[in-house]
Structure 1
Amino acid sequence: MKILDNPLIRESAFNQLRKMILSQEIKPGEKLNEKEVAEQLGVSRTPVREALHKLELEGLVEIFPRRYCLVKGVTHECIREIHLIRSQLEPIAASIAVNNLTNEDLERLDNLIKLSVEFASKGNVEKIMEANDEFHQIINRASNLSRIIAILENMHDYVEAFRYSFMSRTDLVKRSIEEHQEILAALQTRDKELVKKIVTKHLEGITEYEEVILEDMKQSLKVFDDELHNK
């Protein structure tokens, strides 16, 4: 772990622990000791205690008072809830973005799709994910709906935590790229209802990836369940 030197130490402790759990640098089933974590982060126990309680509210850990904190990580329920939120908010954001997207924005979206095709041919999953993120980010931010944008961007670390599972599968990447092409074509028509329909269809399709994600997560979820039952 890196030693924290940010003056906003409480937020720094929370953000770093959250990122490490979502990236599985700290894996489901691991036990966190408040004192040990504080020493590793180079801070007092108070910001660590506060960070762990915030993480428990997010459902990423479970605290057993005076014993330890058990890491849960991204669960099945978490994945479903995030997909539900995205399926409700992103179509609205995209339909409103129609009037705000510039020709330069549309050109950038087209270039991102082309880059995705290139990265897919090389099997570069990280770059595909980056292009995918920017594609959705451009559309969401063009809505100018600050609260919706904040909610969606707050979930980004969660999405990134499990997106690798389906982005590493050639058939699912191909399907995602084709659906992005459909979204761009709809945006170019400036038809709000069509855009909303196409984006909704795209996000409904993402929920079908849950089985793929869960298969990859099965072992880590089993470790957490075993630890929970043996507590």
Structure 2
Amino acid sequence: MEMRSRRLSKDNTYYALKQKIIDSELEPDQAVNEENLAALLGVSRTPLREAIQRLENEDFLVRQPNGRLRVAPLTITEVEEIFLIRSMLEGHTARSAARNATARDIQRLTLILEQLKHSFQMGDKQDVVSYGFEFHDYLSEISTLKTFEKVLNQLRDRSLRYCRYVSLHGDWNTQADEEHLAILQRIVARDEDGAEQAMREHILSSLSTALERIRGIEQT
């Protein structure tokens, strides 16, 4: 029981710290130290150190030559690589989803997009991001492409970090809402080529928005 509690504490610390980086509560390139992080999370040093090591391995935290820690920066190169990889992989998952989606899947995807649209209309920018990722995650799940899903899961949180950051500094345009709907329409029509193309175009459009926003922030 004690071992299980220790493991839960370690995992909870890791997820809590990672979420604060993803949500930019700990800002890109911000200097951090164990004492401050322990106080912020309300944990002891032991689970914190294990969480830090995991996040260093995942490139969310960076250890400098002097041994001090910083939150990993957001870079043009990284966002380009992440979104280009996503465009290729998720194009295939959309194609497969067009072949495999059941009536129940279509209903679920439709509901997600209704929630996304409502969030957009209400100005809930972070909910827009959450529902967008839920839509993509569900397509990946129903695609049955397990290796694709595994690789996309490895990229997911790094991609989410960029999307959350972009939303904190401005709005996604209405085009993203229309692009999601276009993907769904092609899935409903069993148009595999169209679904793949629509997904690729959507992710590259999102990349363009992210690059524009990040460059604008860097210049201010």
Please list, as runs of the form range in 1=range in 2, the aligned pairs for 1:93-112 lying within 5 A after superposition.
93-112=93-112
Structure 2 partner of 1:145? 145
Structure 2 partner of 1:187? 187
Would you say the 8 A contact 2:76–2:211 is kept in 1?
no
Please list, as runs of the form range in 1=range in 2, the aligned pairs for 1:71-150 lying within 5 A after superposition.
71-150=71-150
Give the letter aligned to residue 42 of structure 1.
V
Structure 2 partner of 1:196? 196
Percent of pairs with identical residues: 23
Q: 2 CA distance for matches of 1:185 and 1:78?
A: 31
- Call closer, same or farther: CA 1:185–1:28 in 2, change over 3 Å: closer
Runs (5+) with no aligned partner, structure 2: none
Give the letter aligned to residue 143 of structure 1.
S
Q: TM-score, normalised by structure 2?
A: 0.80
Q: 1 CA distance for matches of 2:22 and 2:133?
A: 17
Would you say the 8 A contact 2:14–2:51 is kept in 1?
yes
Q: 2 CA distance for matches of 1:121 and 1:156?
A: 25
Give the letter aligned to residue 13 of structure 2.
A
- Residue 28 of structure 1 aligns to a residue whose secondary structure is coil
Please list, as runs of the form range in 1=range in 2, the aligned pairs for 1:1-231 lying within 5 A after superposition.
7-34=7-34, 37-38=37-38, 41-45=42-46, 47-64=47-64, 67-164=67-164, 165=166, 172-215=172-215, 217-218=217-218
- Residue 62 of structure 1 aligns to a residue whose secondary structure is strand
- Call closer, same or farther: CA 1:167–1:191 in 2, change over 3 Å: farther
Q: 1 CA distance for matches of 2:169 and 2:45?
A: 40
Give the letter aligned to residue 155 of structure 1.
L
- Call closer, same or farther: CA 1:166–1:26 in 2, change over 3 Å: closer
- Call closer, same or farther: CA 1:205–1:173 in 2, change over 3 Å: same
Q: TM-score, normalised by structure 1?
A: 0.76
Q: 1 CA distance for matches of 2:170 and 2:33?
A: 37
Deviation at 1:214, TM superposition (A): 0.5
Runs (5+) with no aligned partner, structure 1: 223-231
Would you say the 8 A contact 1:24–1:73 is kept in 2?
no
- Call closer, same or farther: CA 1:20–1:113 in 2, change over 3 Å: closer
Give the letter aligned to residue 87 of structure 1.
S
Stretch of structure 1 that moved more, 10-19 or 188-197: 10-19
Deviation at 1:183, TM superposition (A): 0.8
Would you say the 8 A contact 1:18–1:55 is kept in 2?
yes
Give the letter aligned to residue 109 of structure 2.
L
Stretch of structure 1 that moved more, 141-150 or 30-39: 30-39
Could you give the per-residue CA deviations for residues 75-129 of structure 1, whole angstroms, max 9, x where no partner exists?
Answer: 3332222102211210111111223211122123233333333332222223322
Q: 2 CA distance for matches of 1:25 and 1:91?
A: 32
Q: 2 CA distance for matches of 1:17 and 1:217?
A: 24
- Residue 55 of structure 2 aligns to a residue whose secondary structure is helix
- How many residues end up aligned between the 2 structures? 214
Q: 2 CA distance for matches of 1:38 and 1:76?
A: 31
Q: CA RMSD in A?
A: 2.9
Structure 2 partner of 1:229? none
- Call closer, same or farther: CA 1:78–1:58 in 2, change over 3 Å: farther
Q: 2 CA distance for matches of 1:130 and 1:214?
A: 20
